[in-house]
Structure 1
Amino acid sequence: MRARLGDTIIAEADEADLVRIEGNWYFPPRSIAPGVLAESDTAYTCAWKGDAQYFDVAGSADKAWSYPTPHASAIERVGTDFSGYVAFDRAVAIES
């Protein structure tokens, strides 16, 4: 699968390597193209996943997020460790 914003490919990985949480595809950190994400100052805490890190994507503010250290109960609930996996705003096209 591929995450694309305009002509920029942000991430690419086999579907089997992604994690689906609440309708969002989370891409493994190794699948993210170098230099397309920049940490944002936007703060967010999910009640069940924990503290999120937002990212600007190719110059577009807050179009991606990750849970660097999700709660242990969230990992258990999802069924796999999704630490550092990156999900994208609806403005980012997810293609199979």
Structure 2
Amino acid sequence: MKATYQDTVIAEAPTDDLVKIEGNWYFPPSSVADDLLSTSPTPYTCAWKGACQYWNVTVNGVEKKDLAWSYPEIHPSAVDRAGLDFSGYIAFDRSVTFSE
């Protein structure tokens, strides 16, 4: 599966390595072009996942704020709910195109 923004692949991994939660694809950290991401100060905490880390994505010199997010340390019950430990996996805004 590829995650593409503005014609640039920002993440790519086999679909079997991804997890889909609440309609969002979460990519393993190693599959994300981390040179395109920078941390965002936007705060958010999900009641069942835990504290969220938002990421800004820069493509062709243009930064898109909060285009991605992850949960570095998820609540233990989130593992049960999702079926696996997705700590650090990164999801993307719906403006990102996903293709197999």
The alignment's TM-score, normalised by the length of structure 1, stands at 0.97
| Runs of 4 or more consecutive aligned structure 1 residues displaced over 3 Å after TM superposition | none
Q: Return the alpha-carbon distance in structure 1 between the equivalents of residues 21 and 5 of structure 2.
A: 21
Corresponding residue of 2:98: 94
Alignment size in residue pairs: 96
Q: Return the alpha-carbon distance in structure 2 between the equivalents of residues 91 and 66 of structure 1.
A: 17
Local SS of the residue matching 1:41: coil
Equivalent positions of 1:1-96 (< 5 A) are 1-58=1-58, 59-96=63-100
Gaps of 5+ in 1: none
Q: Percent identity, aligned pairs only?
A: 58
1:78 Cα shift?
Answer: 0.6
Amino acid paired to 1:23: G
Gaps of 5+ in 2: none
CA RMSD of aligned residues (A): 0.7
Local SS of the residue matching 2:35: coil
1:34 Cα shift?
Answer: 3.4
